[in-house]
Structure 1
């Protein structure tokens, strides 16, 4: 099912060894783990806005703070997870597994919290701690196992499988709520069991040490006998030493491996992602706005994310392939343009066509930005420090989204939803203009 094919010229040189058209098995296995885990997490995400705002009576400001916590208050843990994963062979899976397990256990925290706001906040923090620990090691395993020229496709396949879980999660939540007469506790129990299944899949099917970086091109000439060559030792070539980055870089002194943020291009990617993240409204707010505009019942609310997830599922792999061929900067920016269009659509008269358009645009946004951002940053990160570098990137984006979610919640509480959305649209348009100038150009596309 997940075969990535691209056309090749008849006169194209032979492919290097290890570079084929099939997506690596590690990527598919990690996609299966993410699929199962997302069924678990999206079951909770789908019902959480109603549970907190309508069930427990939280204000939009309080919900904005918790939503920001749910999506971004784990900066130090992300950095720690990336550091731990980079410190030894085979640690990526161990660190990621600990994160998956913690997220699964957080569902029990929601179950035991009852209506206590402190218990709910602690459970949400535990879930985000788990996600913060696992995300960078998981994405680093994808980078280490896929050829660099197909990273967009590899991330697209992974995100497509991940989004399949996001598509199924709200459906499962809807069925559970329908079968139990809106019993949120039942949703948390099923989510916990599904999360544990994801941990089991990780242990059984993901290798402890991801595939080594693609080997160098195989030579067709006979291999000479291992007789020492006479004469002085050859000088290192122009690509030798710690200055070479990428999957084929030879291990050497610390250099950029110890400081993955040393590359100016990577710092610009982090700055642009953080700037755009600060102008991003949390999905839960968008779904609440749609629910108000359509006057949906509580039982139907979990179905809203399905439209965005379906669009994301359909477009994740094509977006990755386009990014591999045409460059990753433009799709990333256009994805945020789609999000801006979603904000503007929500400001228009509400109705079913407008709601469908918002969900489609939200799916386009994630398809063009999520995995593409990781692939955009890859060329500036050494193989030995990719988990740490990705943790820095994801932390900057997560903290920015925490600020954006809390700010939008405060604006909604003080001004009302419509003025708050106008302010968010203006902020995103400004951030897009700045990011266009900040992001590296075509040199960073591979």
Structure 2
């Protein structure tokens, strides 16, 4: 067995292209910035500005749906142009220049606008960046490459809340001062993608794509791809915005200064599992690993719904982070496995459009259940959707196996 088939060995780490490492650190810096803000934003909205949980759900859902809708166009454009880095850099730049709006916003309306523009930036960069990872990664290290990028991205997702905790203590619970500090890593991320990421040349034999969103081109994505999208959509209904983890912790009396610890714990579990799971998926059935991830999500939902006290909430948060590590990189890898190389930007854009709309529905449903039934209703509904997702994974495996056999 060669090093190429053993992504956990040091030699395999060295085989992952440097631009994928750079993209990972770009994501780390931007996520550090974003999560410093987003870990505090739900509580700031509810406690500081008097918003309801339903309002938080609507804001989060609109924000993510905006990113998803933008991704379809940026992904398709990257296929049409045959270039991906420039669009990814544009998205990171827009997100960086939007960050100062958060500390300047005087009302909920301003914060909604800031989240909207910030998510437009995320939408512009998302599909081209993922397609660029797929273009750069060797096929035998595809799972490891996506796992590595996801792990580095998630390190930023727990560094951000951790910095938020320290800065909230330093600034005596002054949300605005923390939001100002979050501006710095966002601009560092923009500089890194401009100067450290290098896109591979498009193969001369690659098929030119003139209209990626035409019916004929979308049909080229194939049934295996569309099954992946369908299953991911149902799964997204189960994993509504992590803002509700924050609200759950606050509802049982966690001090405001420690609220970002929820994201810290969740993302440590996420980051620790993302690369090993991605690497393992290069040597075994990816669908089986996804089923394990869904089981972890069901356990998280039940713990968050019924387990008493802070210990129960902590168990639920850890399980939630592990389920993210078992699923998010694998779903991105499955899209790369299922879609033609010349349509990867469109494939990731359409994938994120459909799942983003599902996230909008999930966040609104979660917020409504929270207000009308209570926290337990929100998390029990998530467990039900997660269980329903498992049934759709068998056809996904069959179609992926059929696509491999047809090559």
Gap runs ≥5 in structure 1: 9-18, 214-248
Q: Which residue of 2 aligns with 1:311?
A: 269
**Deviating 4+ runs (over 6 angstroms):** 255-258
More helix by share: 2
Q: Which residue of 2 aligns with 1:251?
A: 206
Q: Which residue of 1 aligns with 2:397?
A: 440
CA contact (8 A) 1:153 1:321 kept: yes
1:212 Cα offset (Å): 5.7
Could you give the per-residue CA deviations for residues 293-323 of structure 1, whole angstroms, max 9, x where no partner exists? 3x11100101111111111121111100121
CA contact (8 A) 2:305 2:377 kept: no
Q: Which residue of 2 aligns with 1:128?
A: 119
1:211 Cα offset (Å): 5.9
CA contact (8 A) 2:236 2:362 kept: yes
Q: Which residue of 1 aligns with 2:279?
A: 321
1:250 Cα offset (Å): 4.0
Residues 133-142 or 78-87, more deviating: 78-87
TM-score by length of 2: 0.90
What is the distance in 2 between the residues matched to 1:360 and 1:417? 18
Could you give the per-residue CA deviations for residues 266-298 of structure 1, whole angstroms, max 9, x where no partner exists? 0111111111112322211022213323x1110
1:165 aligned to 2:156? yes
Q: Which residue of 2 aligns with 1:186?
A: 177
1:104 Cα offset (Å): 1.6
Q: Which residue of 2 aligns with 1:156?
A: 147
Could you give the per-residue CA deviations for residues 93-142 of structure 1, whole angstroms, max 9, x where no partner exists? 1111111111122222222222x121111100111111111011111111
1:368 Cα offset (Å): 1.0
1:275 aligned to 2:265? no
- Give the total of aligned pairs: 393
Q: Which residue of 2 aligns with 1:110?
A: 102
Give the 3-state SS of the residue equivalent to 2:110 in structure 1.
helix
Residues 38-47 or 72-81, more deviating: 72-81
1:416 Cα offset (Å): 2.1
What is the distance in 1 between the residues matched to 2:325 and 2:159? 17
Instruction: Find the partner of 1:47 among 19, 37, 40.
Output: 40
| Root mean square deviation, CA, Å | 2.4
Change (3 A) 1:87 1:324: same
Change (3 A) 1:310 1:20: closer
What is the distance in 2 between the residues matched to 1:269 and 1:318? 22
Q: Which residue of 2 aligns with 1:290?
A: 249
Q: Which residue of 2 aligns with 1:265?
A: 224
What is the distance in 2 between the residues matched to 1:342 and 1:260? 36
Change (3 A) 1:7 1:271: closer
Could you give the per-residue CA deviations for residues 390-420 of structure 1, whole angstroms, max 9, x where no partner exists? 1111111111011000111011112222233
Could you give the per-residue CA deviations for residues 239-265 of structure 1, whole angstroms, max 9, x where no partner exists? xxxxxxxxxx94246599772553111
Q: Which residue of 1 aligns with 2:333?
A: 375
Instruction: Point out the structure with max Rg over C-alpha.
Output: 1
Instruction: Find the partner of 2:355 among 397, 414, 419.
Output: 397
TM-score by length of 1: 0.83
1:23 aligned to 2:13? no
Q: Which residue of 2 aligns with 1:233?
A: none
Gap runs ≥5 in structure 2: none
What is the distance in 2 between the residues matched to 1:369 and 1:92? 25
What is the distance in 1 between the residues matched to 2:178 and 2:153? 20
CA contact (8 A) 2:39 2:246 kept: no
What is the distance in 1 between the residues matched to 2:123 and 2:236? 16
Could you give the per-residue CA deviations for residues 55-109 of structure 1, whole angstroms, max 9, x where no partner exists? 11111111110111232233331111112222224x3111111111111222222
